[in-house]
Amino acid sequence: MKINSPLFGSALIASLGGLLFGFDTAVISGAEATLSDIYAPVYLSLANNFGGVSFWHGFTVASALIGTIIGSIIFGRPADRFGRRSMLYLLGSIYLVSALGSALAFDWWFFVIMRLIGGLAVGGSSVVSPLYNAEISPAPLRGRMVALTQFNVVFGIMLAYLSNYLVNSLDFGVTTWRWMFGVEAIPALFFLVLLFLNPRSPRWLVSQGLISEARAIIIRFGSDTKNADEQIEEIQQSLKVEKTDKTERFFQKRYRTPIFLALLIAMFNQLSGINAILYYAPRVFEMAGFEKSGAMLSSLGIGFVMLIFTLIALVIIDNFGRKKLMLWGSIGYIISLATVAVTFYSNGTNFTPVGSVVVLISIMVFIAAHGFGQGAVIWVFISEIFPNKVRARGQSLGSFTHWFMAAVISWTFPVFAEFSGGHVFSFYMICMIFQLLWVVFKMPETKGIPLEQLEKQWY
C-alpha cells in the first residue's frame, strides 16, 4: 500500500510535536553550565536548608522532566474528550509559552516553572502525537507513520544541538543562554500554524457521532478495508468493546508478565545514562578536556549519530527483530561505557589529547548503540506486549516509568559527577550488564507474532 500525500503530510505535521519534544529535552544541554553559574547564589541559599549546590542544579535541569511525568498522565483523558488535534493545539501553545518564558525568565523560580510547563508538553506529546498518527493511518502504513514521531524526536534533539552551537558561535554575551531557549518558539509557532491543515482523527470523530466527517477523512487517507463504511463499522464495534472493558482491572496476576516487561525496559532505558549524556553532553566533553566550542560541536555530533542509527533501526526492526536490536545495543552500551569509565579513571581531571578522543569516540558508540537498540525498540515493544483491553494503560505505565527514571538520572548526574566521572559511567555500565542478561534470558521476541497470538500465549 502506497503512502498518499495527504496522509504523509498530516502525519508529518503531527509528528512535529515529537520534534518539539526532542528539541525541548535537549536544548538545556547548551545552557546548563551557564545556568550553574548564574543561579549559584540561589543554589547556595537553598542548600543551607536542604541538599547541596549540585543537588539543586540537578533539580533545575530535571525540572522539565518532572513536568513530563505529569504530562504523560494528564493528557490522555482530555484527548479522548476534546480530540487529538485539539490537544496538539494546546501542546503547541504550551511549547511556545515555555520557550518564551524560559528565555525571558527574571529569576530562578520563574525559569523552573517555565521549564516544568514545557515538560508538560513533552509528556503530552509522547502520548498524543503517536496516537493521532496511529488513528489516521491505514493498518499497512501505521508502523511507518507512527515511526515519524520517533524520527522527529531524534531530529529535534539534533536541531537543539545545532541551534545551541550556532547561538554560542554568534556570542550574544550574557544573553546567549536566553537565545538558546527562545529559538524553540520558532518551530512551536510553525507547528501551531501547520496544524490548521490537519483534520481531526476519524476514530475520535466516530466516537462523537460525526460519521460523515470521519468518512471523508478515511476516504482521503485510505481505509484498512478499502471501504470507508466498513472501516467506520469496525471502529464503532471497537468502541463498544472498549466501553465494556473500562472496568477491567490493570494490576492483576493475569497481566504480571507484560507489566514487568514494560517496567524493566523503561527503567533500563534510562539506567543506561542516555539522558545524562543528552542533557549534560557539553559538560561531559569539557570534563574530558575539550574547550567549550569543541564541546558544543561534539554535542552536535551526538545528535547526528543518533539520527542515523535510529533511521537504520527503524528500517530493519521488522526484519531483524526487537530482541536482536536490544542484544547488539546492550553490547554496544557495555563496551562504550566501560571505555569511558576506564578513561576517566586513568586521566582524572587532566586529560591527554588521546584520552579526550577516546571519550569522544566512546560516547558516539554509546549513542549509536542507543539509537540502534533501546531508542528504537522501547515504544514498539511496549505497544505490542499488552492485550487490547489494557493497552492504553500499559502504554501509560511504560511512559510514566520512562520519564520518572529520566528525571532521577538527570537530577543525580551532577551530584555523582562531582565525585568521579569514572564512578558514574561504571554504574551505568553495570546496569547495562543486567540489561544484557535480561535481554538474553527473559525478553521475548515479538517480531512477526500477531497480537492475538501473544494474548493467547500469555493470558
Residue 1: predicted pLDDT: 58
Range of the domain at 296: 254-459
Residue 42: predicted pLDDT: 92
Residue 29's domain is classified under what CATH number? 1.20.1250.20
Same domain, 271 and 401: yes
- What residue type is assigned to position 63 of the chain? S
- Is position 225 within any domain? no
- Is position 235 within any domain? no
Phi, psi torsion values for 179, nearest 5 degrees: -65, -35
Written as nine digits, the cell of 89 is 493545539
Examine the fold and report which residue of 198, 216, 245 is the final residue of a domain before the chain moves on: 198
Instruction: Using DSSP, state whether 65 is helix, strand or coil.
Output: helix
* pLDDT at 242 exceeding the cut of 80: no
Out of 125-129, 180-184, 353-357, give the one with best mean pLDDT: 180-184
- Is position 393 within any domain? yes
- Is position 172 within any domain? yes
Same domain, 297 and 190: no
Using the CB atoms, write b or e for 394-431: b if 16+ within 10 Å. bbbbbbbbbbbbbbbbbbbbbbbbeeebbebbbbbbeb
* pLDDT at 151 exceeding the cut of 90: no
Written as nine digits, the cell of 154 is 531524534
**Percent of the chain scored above 70 by pLDDT?**
90
pLDDT interval class at 88 (50, 70, 90) = very high
Residue length of the chain: 459
DSSP 28: G
146 vs 168: CA distance, rounded Å: 34
- Is position 231 within any domain? no
* pLDDT at 146 exceeding the cut of 70: no
Same domain, 175 and 272: no
* pLDDT at 362 exceeding the cut of 80: yes
Instruction: Using DSSP, state whether 405 is helix, strand or coil.
Output: helix
What would the pLDDT profile of 25-50 be if each residue is shown by its tens digit?
Answer: 888 888 888 998 999 999 998 888 88
Judge contact between 431 and 271, C-beta under 8 A. Answer: yes
14 vs 415: CA distance, rounded Å: 37
- Is position 188 within any domain? yes
Instruction: Lowest mean pLDDT of 51-65, 146-160, 288-302, 392-406, name the range.
Output: 288-302
pLDDT interval class at 3 (50, 70, 90) = low
- Is position 154 within any domain? yes
Q: How many domains does the chain have?
A: 2
pLDDT interval class at 314 (50, 70, 90) = confident
Average pLDDT over residues 412-433: 88
Instruction: Lowest mean pLDDT of 239-243, 291-295, 428-432, name the range.
Output: 239-243
Examine the fold and report which residue of 154, 182, 198 is the final residue of a domain before the chain moves on: 198
* pLDDT at 245 exceeding the cut of 80: no
Residue 351: predicted pLDDT: 86
What would the pLDDT profile of 4-18 be if each residue is shown by its tens digit?
Answer: 788 889 988 988 888
Same domain, 11 and 101: yes
